[in-house]
Structure 1
Amino acid sequence: MDITLLSALLVVVLFGLLLSGLWVGFALLAVGMVAMELASSAPMGAVFARRVWGAMTGWDLTALPMFIWMGEILFRSRLSSDMFAGMAPFTRRLPGGLLHVNVFGCALFACVSGSSAATTATVGRMSLPELRARGYDPAMAIGTLAGAGTFGFLIPPSLILIVYGAATEQSIARLFLAGVGPGILLAVLFSGYVMIWSRLNRHRMPEPEPAPTWRERLRALGLLAPTILLIIGVIGSIYAGLASPTEAAVIGVAGALAIASLTGGMTRANFVASLTGAAMTSCMIAFILAGASFLTVAMGFTGIPRTLAAWIGAQDLSQFTLLAVLLVFFIVIGCFLDGISIVVLTTSVILPMVMAAGIDPIWFGIFLVLVVEMSQITPPVGFNLFVIQSISGRNIFEVAWYALPFFLLLVLAAAIMTLFPEIALWLPGTMMNS
């Protein structure tokens, strides 16, 4: 069958299955089966068994359920309330005041969560009522939460970076290191925007609060200490070369259990709920990865990735042009698919042409995650929008409108990282080669 016709047919089958409500993992498996049936005489059963087994038994993937469980434990602890109380004395005198708690709180919780939705829900449940009670503008309170909540995908330990690393056979430790610089860049952009907005809209800001006393600051540091120690234990052990991502995930679970127990959040019901939540999320991701893995090998049999990469190469597109096209492409499909599905669905086709264009796959992983972050705050399937809607009671399109400035800042961050790739590559290049 002609490659163009086959490609169009597979796209129609995929979106038809997704629109029918079939789970993403099974939809990917079905498309892979259709591709092999039409384009290859290889034994489908044997290929399916070998590929799925190989994808599910990779050692790096064992970090995934552990990091998910760590986030579930912390989600049910007092960590979010302690973080808000700990950060408030240090941010309330900044231009923008306690709006910065959303930005810094999400950045801090992302360091121990790995999930965008968990980051948004945990910080939002504490910060939005507090900001509303203190008279902060609801549009900015919701917008900062929507934008900063996406940090959970980028700042390590990021679940989506683990998925990308497993799908593309890239080093997860390098990906974690590469996520640090762009994460800091985003936090600076978001916080800077809050400062500028607050100066231009003084009439929409509450009266400044009194400066914190030294006693308040010391108490705040005490509240932040458990989170900071957990970050050092998890991320520091990876960066120092003392633990692999999987071993660091175990350290994280042990630390999360200790924090939840000491703060009184680890009841029997919460323990069971955290295990159940982690198991459900891990199984969902496992099904998606299994389907994507089989689809990847099926696409190899069709020759579509090679043909597409060769066609892109023949167009002689510059790296900037290619990345601009991919940016628009990912933003569009991000309106209809969740982040993990975008990564596992597209990497088998996109990565060969990206590498043929001379783009570093580690850098591209961070670029892809940045774009996936945009999908979290774009309707109609922006998951962070649904989370904030459930917390705030606002209409989802209203929440998306409040998040628009931060969506544009994510686009700006992608452009800056494209112009200065060392933002992502300097740290892994320095630490992994030393």
Structure 2
Amino acid sequence: MEIGLIALILTIVLFALLAAGVWVSIALICVALTAMVLGSPVSPGDVLVTTIWGASNSYELASLPMFIWMGEILFRNKLSEAMFAGLAPWLGRLPGRLLHVNIWGCGIFAAVSGSSSATTATIGKMTLPELAKRNYDEKLSIGTLAGSGTLGLLIPPSIILIVYGAATDQSIARLFIAGIVPGLLLLLLFTSYVIVQSTIKKTKSGGLVNTKITADEQYTFKEKVAALNKLLPIVFLIGGLIGSIYFGIASPTEAAAVGVILSLFITKMKGTLSTQSFIESIMAATSTSCMIIFILASAAFLTSAMGFTGIPRELANWIGQLQLSPVLLLAVLTVFFVILGCFLDGISVVVLTTSIILPIVESVDINPIWFGIYLVVVVEMSQITPPVGFNLFVIQSLTDKNILTIAGYAFPFFLLMLFAVVLMCIFPQIALWLPEQMNNY
């Protein structure tokens, strides 16, 4: 059977299964089995067993459940409340005032969570009621949360960067370090947008009807300094994680274990750790980890099956014949990933595409570490695009707003992330400078 016909059949099978609500992992296995039957004389069963075992038996993936468990521990033990209390006094004088707590709160929690949905849910539960009570502009309140919540995918430790590193055999430590500056860039872009919008509205609160700072938003310098104490546990945890990786003290896997120990220690010292929250965190982390690893193992089988059919090779040859420049290739891929992200979650996008796309990208001399960060930022964009933008669903559960309304509120932040992608293309060192410094140690 011709390769083009096989590719068409596999595409139809994949979208039919996904449209029917079949689990992504099961859908991938079914597509891979179809590919093996149609395009290869090799026994599908033998390939299935060896590839799934090989993909699951990975030392690098050992960090995945640890980071997820760490985020679950912190999610269930009120760390976000302390973070809000520590940030609010220092951000109250900026145009937009407490809206910046949404942005920087998500940025900080992303550095100890690694999950976009966990970041959005945790910060949103705390900030949205407070912002609504103070009559902040609803569009900016929800928009800042939707945009900033996606940072859980980028700012290390990032679950999706671990998945990308495992799927492409790239250094997870270098990917983590590479995500820091782009993450800060997005935080600054979001903050600048809120400042500009708030200034245009001629208020200090991004839409607060009463432009005077209320009594509970007034802080003396002494109170501001005292509030910093609430941030010390978070700073300690982030410093321990990123510092141990950056200075070569621990591998990402070892740092993940250290993060779990530190998070248990912090929550115990704060008196919020209980037997119930401990058990719930283990069960939630186990469930999420199994889901992700099952998807990865299924994607590994699909990758092997595609290799036997020759589809990736033919696709690479076809794109190579188009002789696209790196810039044009990235423009096409950006549109492709955003459209794909409208129907699949970020991890599925990564595991479905990297085995086919990465050889094409490397053929035009694009750095795979840089491409990993680019891919995550584009996947972030898809998290706030309907119909399957996972952050939109999380916010819908918090606000009962129509998902298209939430997507409209988030659209300016979609454009800001697109602008960040453009900046990364023009200045690749945004993502590569820190990893290069890491090589000097």
TM-score relative to the length of structure 1: 0.98
Name 2:104's counterpart in structure 1.
Answer: 104
Name 2:85's counterpart in structure 1.
Answer: 85
Q: Is the 8 A contact 1:97 1:208 kept in 2?
A: no
Bigger mean CA offset, 209-218 vs 127-136: 209-218
Query: How far did 1:396 drift?
Result: 1.3
Change (3 A) 1:251 1:407: same
Q: 1:261 aligns with which of 268, 271, 290?
A: 268
Q: 2:211 aligns with which of 204, 207, 214?
A: 207
Q: 2:373 aligns with which of 363, 366, 376?
A: 366
Q: Is the 8 A contact 1:306 1:352 kept in 2?
A: no
Query: How far did 1:263 drift?
Result: 2.2
Name 1:12's counterpart in structure 2.
Answer: 12
Give distance in 2, aligned partners of 1:263 and 1:385: 32
Bigger mean CA offset, 30-39 vs 60-69: 30-39
What are the Cα deviations for residues 344-368 of structure 1, in whole angstroms up to 9, with x where unaligned? 0111111111111211111111111
What are the Cα deviations for residues 260-305 of structure 1, in whole angstroms up to 9, with x where unaligned? 2222321111111111110110011011001100001111111111
Q: Is the 8 A contact 1:78 1:263 kept in 2?
A: no
Q: Which secondary structure state, in structure 2, belongs to the residue aligned with residue 343 of structure 1?
A: helix
Give distance in 1, aligned partners of 2:111 and 2:140: 23
Give distance in 1, aligned partners of 2:134 and 2:433: 41
Q: Which secondary structure state, in structure 2, belongs to the residue aligned with residue 202 of structure 1?
A: coil
Give distance in 1, aligned partners of 2:191 and 2:219: 20
Name 1:252's counterpart in structure 2.
Answer: 259
What are the Cα deviations for residues 297-340 of structure 1, in whole angstroms up to 9, with x where unaligned? 11111111111111111111100100000000111111111111
Query: How far did 1:214 drift?
Result: 2.1
Give distance in 1, aligned partners of 2:80 and 2:16: 41
Name 1:407's counterpart in structure 2.
Answer: 414
Query: How far did 1:51 drift?
Result: 1.0
Query: How far did 1:208 drift?
Result: 4.2
Give distance in 2, aligned partners of 1:51 and 1:247: 26
Q: Which secondary structure state, in structure 2, belongs to the residue aligned with residue 96 of structure 1?
A: coil
Q: 2:390 aligns with which of 375, 383, 387?
A: 383
Give distance in 2, aligned partners of 1:315 and 1:208: 60
Paired residues in the alignment total: 434
Name 1:180's counterpart in structure 2.
Answer: 180
Give distance in 1, aligned partners of 2:140 and 2:292: 33
Bigger mean CA offset, 39-48 vs 101-110: 39-48
Give distance in 2, aligned partners of 1:300 and 1:115: 31
Q: Which secondary structure state, in structure 2, belongs to the residue aligned with residue 150 of structure 1?
A: helix
Query: How far did 1:21 drift?
Result: 1.1
Bigger mean CA offset, 201-210 vs 335-344: 201-210
Question: Identity percentage over the alignment?
Answer: 59
Bigger mean CA offset, 248-257 vs 209-218: 209-218
Give distance in 2, aligned partners of 1:414 and 1:388: 25
Give distance in 1, aligned partners of 2:296 and 2:95: 44
Give distance in 1, aligned partners of 2:202 and 2:10: 54
Query: How far did 1:201 drift?
Result: 1.2
Give distance in 2, aligned partners of 1:368 and 1:433: 26
What are the Cα deviations for residues 185-210 of structure 1, in whole angstroms up to 9, with x where unaligned? 10110000000000011252342426
Name 2:194's counterpart in structure 1.
Answer: 194
Give distance in 2, aligned partners of 1:313 and 1:419: 23
1:4-403 correspondence runs (5 A): 4-202=4-202, 204-205=207-208, 206-209=210-213, 212-403=219-410
Q: Is the 8 A contact 1:70 1:253 kept in 2?
A: yes
User: Letter of the aligned partner of 1:377 in structure 2?
Assistant: I
User: Letter of the aligned partner of 1:262 in structure 2?
Assistant: M
Give distance in 2, aligned partners of 1:110 and 1:221: 19
Name 2:3's counterpart in structure 1.
Answer: 3
Unaligned 5+ runs, structure 2: none
Give distance in 1, aligned partners of 2:245 and 2:226: 29
Query: How far did 1:211 drift?
Result: 5.3
Give distance in 2, aligned partners of 1:303 and 1:429: 36
Query: How far did 1:258 drift?
Result: 1.5
Query: How far did 1:433 drift?
Result: 3.9
Query: How far did 1:430 drift?
Result: 1.4
Query: How far did 1:431 drift?
Result: 0.9
Change (3 A) 1:208 1:343: farther
What are the Cα deviations for residues 207-260 of structure 1, in whole angstroms up to 9, with x where unaligned? 242653122112211000000000011111101110000110011101111122
Unaligned 5+ runs, structure 1: none
Segments ≥4 residues shifted beyond 6 Å: none
Q: Which secondary structure state, in structure 2, belongs to the residue aligned with residue 124 of structure 1?
A: helix
TM-score relative to the length of structure 2: 0.97
Q: Which secondary structure state, in structure 2, belongs to the residue aligned with residue 317 of structure 1?
A: coil
Q: 1:424 aligns with which of 425, 428, 431?
A: 431
